[in-house]
Amino acid sequence: MRDLFLAVLVRDLTLAARRRIEALLPIVFFVVAISLFPLGVGPEPEKLRQIAPGIVWVCALLAAMLSLTHLYAADHADGSLEQLLLTGESAVVVAFAKAAGHWLVSGLPLVLCAPLIGLLFDMHGDALVALTLSLLLGTPTLSLLGSVGSALTLGLRSAGMLIILLVLPLSIPALVFGTGAVAAIDAGMSAQAHYSILGALLIFTALTAPPATAAALRISVE
């Protein structure tokens, strides 16, 4: 199982390295979309600090959605997904590896960009740390949930819109507690409760999303 996980993960990372433009699209969207808000709402530092967590989280969520339609589509089109499922190995491991690859390509760069984005909104040091930690705990949940949505809509028309309709409602708790962690720090309170809930959401999603994704993949392939 470990060898299968590593093989699928390395394969996805290698393909992403060969498709640099496709891999960079969510990151470019994230940076450009956030950069437009200071121009639209004005340069007042207090206002920018207040809206920054919500803007960053919403843009991170939308950026993660951009690459979900391609998560299984290419493998399904060339038959490699069916071969993976017919090997007799656990489809849950394949689903978990694909979600991990998606986060490393699309989610981790967003986390790394968060401190620089926070400086654009004049956020203070503690708030920057809280924003980065909340994204670090929350973005893997988005990838796992997105994997389920991508598997359920595999081969369907308008799959991108269907993924958004399926995944966005499930992502609301991560969005609420992610922004709440930064708001708690700004209010002089502890964000430990928000981190704990984000961690619990990640553990719960990691345990339930891969089996659901595996079942959806089997249905789509059949």
Per-residue pLDDT of the chain (222 residues; tens, 9 = 90+): 777 888 888 888 888 888 877 778 888 888 888 888 888 877 787 888 888 888 899 988 888 888 787 788 777 777 777 777 776 567 888 889 889 998 998 889 989 988 888 888 888 888 889 999 999 999 999 999 988 888 888 877 776 778 888 888 889 999 999 999 998 988 888 889 999 999 999 999 999 999 998 888 888 776
CB 110 within 8 Å of CB 172: no
Contact 29, 65 (CB under 8 A): no
- Where does residue 158 fall: left (phi above 0), alpha (psi -120 to 50 degrees), or beta otherwise? left
Give the C-alpha separation, 78 to 88, whole Å.
Answer: 19
Q: What is the pLDDT of residue 23?
A: 77
Amino acid (one-letter) located at 95? A
CA separation for the pair 212, 67 (Å, rounded): 20
Rounded to two decimals, what is the model's pTM? Answer: 0.87
Would you state the pLDDT for residue 87?
65
